[in-house]
Structure 1
Amino acid sequence: MIGCGYLGAVHAAAMASLGHEVIGVDTDPAKIAALAAGRAPFFEPGLDELLAEGVRSGRLAFTDDFAAAAGAQVHFLAVGTPQLPDSSGADLRFVRTALASLVPHLRAGDVVAGKSTVPVGTAAGLLQAVAAAGATLVWNPEFLREGWAVQDTLHPDRLVVGAVDDEAGRRATDVLRAVFAAPIAAGSPFIATDLATAELVKGAANAFLATKISFINAMAEIAEASGADVTLLADALGHDVRIGRRFLGAGIGFGGGCLPKDIRAFAARAEELGRGASVGFLREVDAINLRRREHAVRLVVDAFGGSVVGRRITMLGAAFKPHSDDVRDSPALDVATRLRGLGAKVTVTDPEAIPNAAILHPQLKYVEDRDAAIRKADALVLVTEWDLYRRELTPAHAASLARGRIVVDGRNCLDPVAWRDAGWTYLGMGRP
C-alpha cells in the first residue's frame, strides 16, 4: 500500500483482515509509527480495532522504506491528489512521485492498482513507466464514506477495475478479482472497464452527489423566499423512486477533503478536454454550496437584530460531517470563523475534531465538553449532526445551560416543535 493516509490506512487494514499479507509504505515517520502500533492517526470508527488485529496477526506492517514493496504481487497507489494552489485542477505530484519511487522495486508480472482520485486520462500517462518494469497498471477507484470507511472497504457496493484490453490487462484484472474474492462472494458487483472509465466513474459519482445536495439547497433558497418547508418538499420528492430521499438533506452544504476539490478538478479536466460546457453546471453546484454557509451566518446575525458583536455563540460541531475528525473545507468552521470576524465570541465544541480544528483555526475558542461549551451562550448553532447534539441534547437541558434562547439548525436535524415549545427561537435552513 503506497500511501498510508486516510484511504491507504483503511485499505491496508481491510486487506489484512481479508487474509492478505500487507506492507504499508509512507514517507511520514510519525504516521508509520502510529500505524505500526495499531493506532490510526485520525478518527475513523472501527479502524483502530482492525489495525491492531492486523498488526497482531503479522499480516500487516508499515514502513517508510519503499524497498519493502519488493516481492509484493499487487501494489496499491493511495496517495492524495489535493487541489492545485493556483487553479481548480488536481495536483498529481504525489501520484507521480510515489510511482517513481515504486518502479525500481517492481518485478515482471506485478500489478500496480491506482486508487487515488485522478482526472480522466492520468493512467494513460503512467502506463509506460509501469510497463517498462514488466508490470501492469490498472485503476481501482475508491468509494469510501468517511465515518463508514471500514464497512465500505470490506463490503463495497461495487468494485471497479479499469485496464487495457490486452492479455496483460485481463490477467491483472483477474488478479484484482482474486484480491477481492471475499466481498465478491458476498455479493459486491465487480465491474471490469477500460482505464478511462474507471477514472471517470469516481469523478462522475462525486459530481452527481454534489449536484443532488446542491439541488435541494437551491430548493431551500426558494422555500425561504416563499414560506415553504424544504424538509417536507424533500420527503415528497424522495418517494419518487427515480429520485430517492438520500442526499436530499438541505443545510449548510458539503465539505471535506474530497467532494469540493473533486468536483472542481472534474470540471477543470472537462475544460482541458474541450468539454467544459458539459459540466458547466458544476460551477453553480459549487456556488450554491458556498452560499448556504453565508445564509447560516445571516440567520444568526438577523436573529440578533443585525449585529453579533459581543454575543456568545456556541458552534455544535467542527468536523465537516459526523463520525469523522476531518475539518478540511468544513462548513462548520467556515461559519464559525465568519461569525468571529463579525465580532461574536465564538466557542466551538466537537467530540473528535477539536485537535485538527485548533491547528487550522487557532483563533477560535474550543471546549471539548458539550455542556461546558453551551453554558452562558446567547445562541447555539448546530453545524455537524453528531448524535450528541441532534438526539442526546434536549431543549430543556440546553435551556438550563444557555443564557439565550436562539438555536440555528444548520443541518435541519432538530425537532422545531420541541425546541419552540421549550421557549427557543428555532431557525432552520429552508424552513418557515
Structure 2
Amino acid sequence: MGSTQLTGRVIYKGDLGYEEAIKNWNPYVDTFPLVFVFAQNARDVSNGIKWARENDVPLRVRSGRHALDKNLSVVKGGLVIDVSDMNKVTIDKRKGLATVQTGILVGPLVKELALNGFMAPFGDSPTVGIGGITMGGGFGVVSRSIGLISDNLRGLEMVDAKGRIVTANAHHNEDLFWASRGGGGGNFGYNTEYTFRVPRAPETATVFNIVWPWDQLESVFRTWQRWAPFVDERLGCYLEIYSKINGLCRVNGIFLGTKTEAVRLLEPLTTTGTPTQVDIQSLFYLDAINYLDPPQPIPEQSSQSVKFSSVWSLDLWSEEPISIMKNYLEEATGTEANFFFENWGGQIRRIPKDKTAFYWREPLFYSEWNASWNQPKDEARNLASVEKVRQQLQPFVKGSYVNVPDQNIKNFGEEYYASNFERLRRVKAKYDPENFFCFPQSIPPAP
C-alpha cells in the first residue's frame, strides 16, 4: 500500500451512493468499479492518480457519463475519478474568455454563457460533459460560424501521470496544448480546467425544425447533401433519420441571421417532398438555445443500450451508400436507432489540418449511426448490424470521430487522427512515457 490517501467525495463498492454512481447515460458501458472519487479540485484528481499508481489499480476519468463504448470512462474493479462536482464557470466579459471546470455539462455551460451574452459551439446533447467533448474536437450547429469547441480552447490545467498539476497554452507546454485540441480525452493527463475564447452572441437567431414522412428520406437526404455543406456558413443543421419503426425524418438547426433570410435559404428543403411540419422562428439567442437543446434530466440514463459508429464524407453520397442507410433503418428494431448528419465547412475548414490535433477539416458533412436495444439477448445482433454498415460504407467515406469511439476500428490512430497520429504519439511519449493512462484505443507513446 502507498502513502497517498484518496480525497474528495469517495464512494467504495457497497457504500451508500454506489448504485447511483455506476449509472451512465448508455447502459451498454455500465460496469462495477472498486471506488469512485468525485473530485472537488485538482488536488483530489492528483491524489487519485497517485493512489491508483501506488496500489496498481486501473484508472479512468469521467466527466459527463456519456462514454459510447466500453472501458473508456469506467473500469471494472478500478478507480474512476469523476469531475462532475467541479462545474464552476468564470466569465471575463472584457476579454471574452470563460474559465470552466471540466465537470460542467454542455447544456448548462452554453446556457450560462448565453445569459451573459456569449456563445459557445455546442453539441446535439446538452448532457455531454465539457471535459471529454473538448479534447476530441467537439462541434455543434454554430461550429460553421465560430469553429470547433477545441478551436476555441485557449488554455488548460491538467494533472499528469505523476500527479503533478501542469498548464498548457500557446506559450507554455505548446505541444501538449496542440495535442489537447483534438487528440482525444484521457490520453495525456486528466484535465481540471479549460479557458475558452467566447464570442459575443447575437441578440436574436433563427431556429428551424422541418419534418417529413419517413418514406421520403431518400429525396430529403439527396436535397440536404447537395445544399447543407454549401449554404451560408451562418447556418448549421442536423439531419436525423430514425428507424422505420420510429418513423422520424427531420432537419433542425440555427441560422445566425434574420427569419426572412432563413426562409429563403431553407427553400430547397421546404420545397422537397411534402413536409408535415415547417417551423421557422426568430428568437432571442437564449431562447434559441433552449429550442434546440431543451433541458434534460441529468444524469439521464437512456432506457436502451446504444452502439455508435461514425464517418466523414468528403464526397456526396451516390445511390449505393444511400441504399445502405435506408436498408439499415428499415431493418433496425430499436426505436432510437438512427442516422445523424451534420453539415461541415465554414470556420471549421479555415484552420489547417496540422494546426491542432483535429485533422478532419475537409469533409462536406459528418455522419454517425447507432443501434439500440433493451434486452441483453439482442445485444450481439445490434452490435453486428452497426459494424456491417461501417464495412459497407468504407468505399464511400473516410476516417472516424474520436468522440464517437468504436472499438471495432483496428487502425484507430489513422482513422481518428490521420497524419497527426505520429505527432500525438510523440507528445504522449513526453507527458506519459510509461503509458500509465492506458485504455482501449488510447494513444500509444512513440518508441
TM-score, normalisation: structure 2: 0.27
TM-score, normalisation: structure 1: 0.28
Rg larger for: 1
Structure number having the greater strand percentage: 2
Structure number having the greater helix percentage: 1
